[in-house]
A and B are shown apart, each in its own frame.
Chain A
Amino acid sequence: MRCYLTQVITAFAALAFANAATAGKATEEIEDTLPFNSRSTLEVNNVNGSIEVTAWDRARFTFTPKKS
């Protein structure tokens, strides 16, 4: 009986670990940077999802798109 319980607990732990690993892939986040050349236009075309643009005092663009 004790051996059986240990196997069940081990199986649940393995399942939880696998789910956590897979869940980590359900959201993707990448980052990219481009230089700024004098006066530039930032054009963004998205379908589903919000767009947040914030000014900063550096001469480059930084992008963090997050898939979900």
Chain B
Amino acid sequence: MKTGSLGDRTDALDRIEVVIQESTTGVLVKTIHHRKWGSSNGRVSYAIKVPRDADLRIRTTNGRVITDGVNGNHGLRSVNGSISAERMAGSMKTRTTNGSIDIELTRLNANEDINLKTVNGSIVLSLPEATTADLDVTTANGRIRSDLPVTIGTASKRKLHGTLNGGGDTRVRVSTVNGQRQHLPAGRFTGLFYRRA
């Protein structure tokens, strides 16, 4: 239940500053909370459209991250929130603490690595079937499953080291502590996923 008057609410919004500026590498967007008495009420939700070929560095503390259709080198991060990326291409580094990760890559070139990590949440990674990569997958309280033909180097219920299509220059690292749900990628993509044991 929220308390406080609308006047308090509008005051809180007035103390949130959104900065959008060109930087040396592209564009920087940031939210600044000018706090009063240590509080940080209010939130900012961003809807952003970008050219198809762009690199993303996205970070929020409390909230979801959703991306769609961008080709580049990407870093997506949250603390309390899920991360979802559809029809993406390029390298991907994704991290959250409380939330699931669901990544669909339609293209992955050599030396474009994937690093996905969460503590409380499942991870689903969908890759093109022809992907050549080295795999390093771990979970503490979950299950590892793959629709892809993985050549297993070493494997246990909680860890998997192996290769896809003979291995390659791409490294895929996937890690969760408490995976919670199962998801089967559809279409021509197949993937790795975790489920609570």
Contacts and interface: CB of A to CB of B under 8 A. Distances in A.
Interface in A39-55: 39-55
Interface string B18-53: 101011011111110100000010111111111111
Interface residues of B, number: 51
A30 B29 CA distance: 13
B46 A42 contact: no
A43 B22 CA distance: 10
Contacts, number: 204
**Main SS of chain A's interface residues?**
strand
Contacts of B59: 44-46
Contacts of B6: 19, 22-23, 25-26
Interface in A1-55: 19, 22-23, 25-28, 30, 32, 34, 36-37, 39-55
Nearest to B9: A26
Contacts of A42: 26-27, 29, 48, 50, 54-58
Contacts of B57: 41-44
